[in-house]
Amino acid sequence: MKGRVEVIIGAQWGDEGKGRVVDALGSRVDVFARYQGGANAGHTVIVEGKKYVFHLLPSGMLYPCRVCVIGNGVVIDPEQLLNELRELQEQGKDRARLVISGAAHVVMPYHKKLDTAQENQRGKGRKIGTTGRGIGPAYVDKYSRCGVRVEDLLDGDSLRDKLEYNLDEKNLFLSKIYGEEPLPFDEVFDQAVEWGKALAPYVGDASLIIDEAIQEGRGVLFEGAQGTLLDVDHGTYPYVTSSSPVAAGGCVGLGVGPAAVDRVIGVVKAYCTRVGEGPFPTEDEGESGNRLREKGAEYGATTGRPRRCGWLDLVALRYAVRVNGMSSIALTKLDVLTDFERIPVCTGYEIDGKAEEHFPSGVHRQWKAKPVYEYLEGWKEDLSGCAEFDRLPLQARKYVEYIETACGVPVNLIGVGPGRDQTILRNF
């Protein structure tokens, strides 16, 4: 018997509400698996009125007796991860079993220093908007084949060998190019050894554990961070993250073949937001954008930075449907659009005076893209108490159906508030 495997991906620029969607589906999932990214992402879950923010832990950690996996595709900041675990333990919420892939790479102190120094050196107009959490430099080392993996933290000889090489190189960059103080070897080594001791009880073969769960007929949920338009290959490069948040990244980041995946669920905010630099065709820098930000509490879970806000972009969404093979949409924050008299929806672009119905691949054309809007009638009614689709106001239902028609994908989940119980499931 084969278990059901579903992939949760962000279909926009991240911050779509993936954590709350994972949590809403959690009662039917046995294994939650995070497959890429690092502590530069934040998943927010609200249960019984209490907010939990996970940066590295899978959102399923709040479900007792489940298995939560951090895959080889994630870059792990041990200090952040241990802090998250400690906070859950102090609240009596550490009731899931955590497994960390020994093949996952580690964000070291020199990665963070390099991240900040490189971003500062880019200067005005060239900044990417990195969080400074060391994610990019950690992935650089991974692909340069000199990265420190979790399994190295458990082996003093391997750790020493890698750190001696890495620190010689990184300290040269820090001191000679960026004018920063070099990092002392003993300090970094001793800290890494302590991380290894603390993480050792959780280290395992993530790929094998997931495969066994699938073969046993258990439900498995792959959980991505960031969003499709931040993918290093398919996003608004170079204003992207350093990994692959798209659905295919789930297979690579967890060691599972693509034939195992049954369904790809794209999480879509009812409007659009973006953190950091980069093109954003439907951004609204006026009063309506500010109104969306305040009503939607659009401030970064990781950095607290205010998010840029704008309207739903169907050109970008259709692109996300295509590159992810999306079979289902989870629409979040529909309630935030309440009280807008008319709601703009971008149905196409104009680039250099010509109509464009497809998302452009080059960032130079993305910067030039001007949205072509259709305007849908808004609604005044409060959505927060709606438990069924038919109980939504007529215009809210039409908004959902408009998205389904435009994308050719059913909207099977609708968020009408931040709480776990404020979720409408349709034919799920």
The answer to whether 59 and 93 have CB atoms below 8 angstroms apart is no
Pairing verdict, β 220-223 and 411-415: unpaired
358 flagged as catalytic: no
Local structure of residue 426 (DSSP, 8 states): S
Q: In the 3-class helix/strand/coil scheme, how is 100-164 assigned residue by residue? A: EECCCEECCHHHHHHHHHHHHHHCCCCCCCCCCCCHHHHHHHHHCCCCCEHHHHCCHHHHHHHHH
CA distances from 81 to 70, 76, 312, 386 (A): 11, 7, 34, 36
Order of strands, edge to edge, in the sheet holding 220-223? 203-204, 97-101, 67-70, 31-34, 220-223, 5-10, 263-269, 328-332, 411-415, 423-425
Q: For residue 33, which of 287, 298, 212 has the smallest C-alpha distance?
A: 212
- Please work out, in degrees rounded to the nearest 5, the angle formed at the alpha carbon of residue 254 by the alpha carbons of 253 and 259: 105
Element (H, E) at 265: strand 263-269
Q: Which of 23, 30, 43, 234 is catalytic?
A: 43
Tell me the two tokens of residue 353: 């005076």
Indicate the SS3 state at residue 6: strand
Q: Which of 15, 23, 30, 284 is catalytic?
A: 15
Half-sphere exposure of 165 (CA within 13 A, CB side): 11
The answer to whether 16 and 265 have CB atoms below 8 angstroms apart is no
* Paired strand residues for 343: 376
Rounded to whole angstroms, how far apart are CA atoms 329 and 389?
14
Pairing verdict, β 342-351 and 220-223: unpaired
Rounded to whole angstroms, how far apart are CA atoms 155 and 196?
8
Rounded to whole angstroms, how far apart are CA atoms 269 and 336?
10
Residues belonging to the active site: 15, 43
